Amino acid sequence: MKKEKSFWVYIMTNKRNKVLYTGMTNDLVRRVFEHKNHLLKGFTSHYNVEKLVYYEEALDAYTAIAREKQIKGWLRRKKIELIESANPDWRDLSEELY
């Protein structure tokens, strides 16, 4: 039986929790590794975004993209509330992935 492909929506930040980056991927472990090791040029590399503070699984790519866009459209305060509802201490959740 073929395993269904997973899709993830995630939020990452830097050490001071100053920047919130929302993204989506079909391989959360790989994507977090890329962010942590600055393999992706651009916003996340420039702002040292390397701390995974929130993630959720989506049913399919369309759902993940829609959720990513929804979260990106929120004010910072609402994003913080989402993060703190699942991760009140702002732990680096990537430690759970490895």
Q: Where are the alpha helices (DSSP H) in the chain?
A: 28-36, 43-46, 61-72, 76-86, 94-97
The model's pLDDT over 37-46, given as tens digits with 9 standing for 90+, comes to 999 889 988 8
**What is the spatial distance between Cα 28 and Cα 8, in angstroms, rounded to a whole number?**
6
pTM for the predicted model, two decimal places: 0.92
The model's pLDDT over 41-80, given as tens digits with 9 standing for 90+, comes to 899 888 899 999 999 999 999 999 999 999 999 999 999 9
Asked if pLDDT for residue 1 goes beyond 50, the answer is: no
Asked if pLDDT for residue 3 goes beyond 80, the answer is: no
pLDDT for 16 equals 84
- In angstroms, how far is CA 56 from the centroid of its own chain? 8
**What is the spatial distance between Cα 17 and Cα 51, in angstroms, rounded to a whole number?**
9
pLDDT for 12 equals 97
**What is the spatial distance between Cα 20 and Cα 72, in angstroms, rounded to a whole number?**
9
**What is the spatial distance between Cα 58 and Cα 70, in angstroms, rounded to a whole number?**
13
Q: In order of start, what are the domains of the chain with their CATH numbers?
A: 7-97 (3.40.1440.10)
